[in-house]
Structure 1
Amino acid sequence: MQEVAGPVSAVERALAGCLVERPAPFRRLPVALLSREQKAAELQRVAVLKATTAAYEAELVLGLADDSPADDDPAPGTPGAKGSWAPDSQLPGVSKFFTAELAMVLNCGRGTASHLAHRAWTYRSHLPATWAAMAAGDLDETRAKVLADVLQHTSPAVARAIEGRLLPEAASLTTGRLRKRALAELLEADADAVDKRREQAQRQADVRCHPSPLEGMGTLTADLPAPVAAACHEIVDQLARMLKADGDPRPIGELRAAVLADLVQRPWDTGRPAVTAHLQLVATLSALAGRSGEPAEVNGLPITIGRLHELLAELDALGLRTPEGGTVTLALTDDDGALRATTPLDQLRRLARRGCPDHPDGTCGCSVLDRPAEVDRHDPSRAQQAFIHTRDRTCRFPTCGQRVGWADADHVVPHAHGGATDCANLCCLCRSHHRLKTFARGWRFTMSDDGVLTVTTPSGVTRTTRPPGMRPPAATDSPAPHAGWDDPLPDDPLPDDPLPDDPPPF
């Protein structure tokens, strides 16, 4: 919002640096001493501060975006260029890697960072008066977001015309009424923009699975066009009611969930290609032995160790057989959560029968199951792939949770520059963050032998991720040696060029 005329002097930059290092403290009053009227006045002051802070945040986001031009991004059609799997999210003229940096800076997901950046861009390009009103504290962020979300896909001229008609009364309208008015104005002025909003929403659609607040449950969600979603729900509801009418005693909600699971898995449809399941069971050795009740995980969703034993029995696991048409991988961790080994159940059964080849009596402490050894080539072995995918479970980039099935086992130190194809130098990165590590300027990745990954942005923000389930070391422990490439000393500037990397599978 604030424009600086002419070049910035060294003194001005030094003054700005001092202000950043010593920000003004937030004024907090003792609430217990305030009257009812004073508390209301303070709440109004806080609302104004939130609006002005949101406007300042948008200005900072745009400033950081301006520091990340698209000039150095891989050109379309070249290795590392953006693919077609993800929806378009790049700001005009801004590096495609900017959203990842913003997510690191704010410690939020890539989607949240992308929405924040696009909204800030809309304020500057389409709604400058709304942005100014928010900066002055005359309009709250919630109502400003409504205008930005509705008007972002029309032309700046149309957006500013609608803004001029709505802004004088925006603060007095509810957010629902403001959205309705803005959509009506947009439909009258630019119907194509409404269709574009609908198309953009469909491009953002996805199917997601995440833990449920209900014990032992997971939640499956799907973004669908409203008529399709209504039709799907109607079919599920009708089939569930048919089961209820036939005397099924289960609650109707449980029946709907069971019907949906049957419709998705379709075990009766032999004409379709077989789809097999892969379950990954993660538990500590002491929990498996019954010495601990520490929670375990099935495909990333936490369950109690008792439920894990039930599941293992149901699948004829741990000494019986792998379920027909699927696989089960058992991940064994120590009591600190560090992964010790991974093994299919059949291999575990064979190892148990065979025992130690050097000590048949079984009284030794020899290791018969450990992490895979280093290989003398670029591509990881199948055993290493299984170990790394089991250890990491998702993309290891901070703030990313992309599932491991879509991740590459990447060398932290490039193989072409001496990096070993070893589990201590391999980590899972989704295709987007693999591209970032390979092609983006100024980023630095390092990793410890036990898989603790540290990532530093071009702006100097550093975040660390530990393998899921692995506990942090005690405060007195010294840091473990780590794998890294051309790590600068603490006072050295970050490198401008990306680290030379192995040819990625782009």
Structure 2
Amino acid sequence: MNAMVAATDEQMSMLDGLVSSIQSVEQTLAGVLATRDGLLALAGKLALSMAEDGDGIDASDLTIRTVAAEVGAVLRVSDRTVQRRMAEASITVERFPLVWAAQGAGQISAGHARVIVDAGAHLDDAEARAAYSARVLEFAEDESPNRLRPIAARIAEQYQPRSLEERHADARKARGVWVKDAPDAMAELGLLGPAALVHAAFDRLTGMAKADAGASVGTAGVAFGLATAPESGDSADLRTLSQKRSDLALDLLLTGAPAGHDTPDGLLAAIVPHVSVTVPVTTLMGAEGAETPPAELDGRTPIDLETARLLAGAASGWDRILTHPISGALLAADRYRPSAHLRRHLRARDQRCRFPGCGMPPRNSDLDHTLDAAFGRPTEEENLAELCRRHHVLKHHSPWHVEQVGGGLLEWTSPTGRVYIDKPPPPNTVTFAETGPPPDPVDLSDPVDLGDPADPWASVPDELLAPF
């Protein structure tokens, strides 16, 4: 237990006050940034109005540059930066007014707003954007931006007018590799390709790097001065996991095999990548409809159905994840061996570290007993949860306390007494209504207070709108 156990009541009261103050400042800051976005969007709107009254809309780009230069000069930043901010602000304010209003009220941060806008950027229908925004905002008030990102992408997918397969076929045309020079004789190698292949390549590099204990760096890496080989007779390898991944990737690309890293019996070359793909059975069967979600890779990003089917056909085994047909809650994950079954079940349920705000995936986490097994507590679903090493240590060696309250919910209590409920992320599955057909996700017949998506300027003072 750390030193906080010995903290005085006065110190804990001061900490509580600091946390409350920081929370209040963050909410105020979110509102101020939303106000700035509104003013930047209004500046862009003013520039368009000036262009229409002058040389016509065709001259709007030059007018916007002129206005951006004026704002940039007073802020002492590049007019290009201001023009980019104006464009981003206009998208948020005019296309996602619900998100802008929520940020202005301090309900979400600027980071949350960026995640929601980025995920829904390709939704062209105003009603679809409004419905999407309303649904994602329900999660944004409880989740951190990194946790919100896959949820927002999943929800946005349901409002896309074109199927993921069609969009993926177009997106594949943009695949490529590029180099970006960096200082000090370094450079970055970028690669854009199908998500399943890129994640699998990264997983294979990680597996090789972890198995590469004490081995020398690649022959290509040493030859080009990209890394330093251990001295003769010195088995210590001080490289980080990230550095090993980099050395291995370059070695593989330059030689075609991990020649400088592999063991005499070729163990590294035998390492194969592992990715986790969840596919609703209705999707795998080819069912069509807006309510049918796409396949998902590692609970993070959607992948095209053709790739999912190829992986399904080549897989030696599948975990069957059973979900409730109405609520979508995880019921069970089964396979032959019970111990592995329980681990698979919890990974499928949790999908990431269960400390509030953490998005570390389960493959980099520990399966932790909420109540210590050393004191006879059971090894079962209701007493286990995925925790990354950082938060596993925090749970055992700080005043943070956690309880399982049923249904996969974890109740965390902070040193100042605040309570945070961490929910498992919603599974990538199909749910059904108790009676009648599944609702169309873009059907707004169930009234939601969406405001007026066509008039995001309703809250702007009249004097600012006077020129229009």
Larger fraction in helix:
2
Tell me which structure has the larger Cα radius of gyration. Answer: 1
Band of TM-score, shorter chain: 0.3 to 0.5
- What TM-score do the two structures reach when normalised by structure 1? 0.33
- What TM-score do the two structures reach when normalised by structure 2? 0.35
Q: Select the structure with the greater relative contact order (CA < 8 A; seq sep ≥ 6).
A: 2
